[in-house]
């Protein structure tokens, strides 16, 4: 077995072991840094969030969006991507599963910076 493939399989196995199992079709709440297992061959982590929404107590010309960066792990590779809250790309399909970002909290009141660890996201994963 090639060295790179062996290393990829080892990393994938370690990631899978450290992940929390999710229930398909049921919304769940997560935070930055959480790792989840979809099945024995697919897991993902929430890496960071960029929040461009208008603060609640400020008037803005546009409402903005939230961009959630995540990494998907498969036995032979990993996929780094983003899922948006309101953009037309607010869901992504990987290996026959659709991942959708439902909500992001809290929302800034007056423009203060919210620490990454304070965000909570609601997600749903469905089998296609």
Tell me the pLDDT tens digit for each residue of 18-65.
Answer: 578 889 999 999 999 999 999 999 999 999 999 999 999 888 888 899
Q: What residue numbers bound the domain in which 75 lies?
A: 3-127
Structural domain total, the chain = 1
In angstroms, the CA 77 to CA 11 distance is: 10
Tell the residue number behind the tokens 């060295």, with chain if given.
Answer: 3
User: What pLDDT score was predicted for residue 117?
Assistant: 95
Q: What percent of the chain clears pLDDT 90, i.e. is strictly above it?
A: 66
User: What pLDDT score was predicted for residue 20?
Assistant: 80
Output the domain CATH number for residue 19: 2.60.98
Q: Which 3-state string (H, E, C) describes 68-114?
A: EEEEEEECCEEEEEEEECCCCCCEEEECCEEEEEEEEECCCCCCCCC
Higher-pLDDT residue of 32 and 7 is 32
């Amino acid at each position: 077995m090639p060295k790179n493939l062996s290393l990829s399989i080892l990393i994938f196995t370690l990631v899978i072991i450290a992940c929390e199992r999710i229930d398909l079709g049921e919304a769940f709440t997560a935070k930055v840094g959480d790792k989840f297992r979809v099945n024995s061959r697919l897991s993902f982590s929430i890496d960071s969030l960029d929040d461009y929404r208008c603060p609640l107590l400020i008037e803005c010309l546009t409402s903005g969006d939230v961009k959630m960066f995540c990494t998907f792990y498969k036995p032979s590779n990993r996929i780094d991507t983003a899922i948006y809250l309101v953009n037309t790309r607010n869901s992504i399909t990987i290996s026959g599963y659709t991942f959708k970002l439902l909500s992001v909290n809290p929302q800034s009141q007056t423009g203060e910076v919210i620490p990454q660890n304070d965000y909570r996201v609601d997600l749903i994963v469905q089998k296609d």
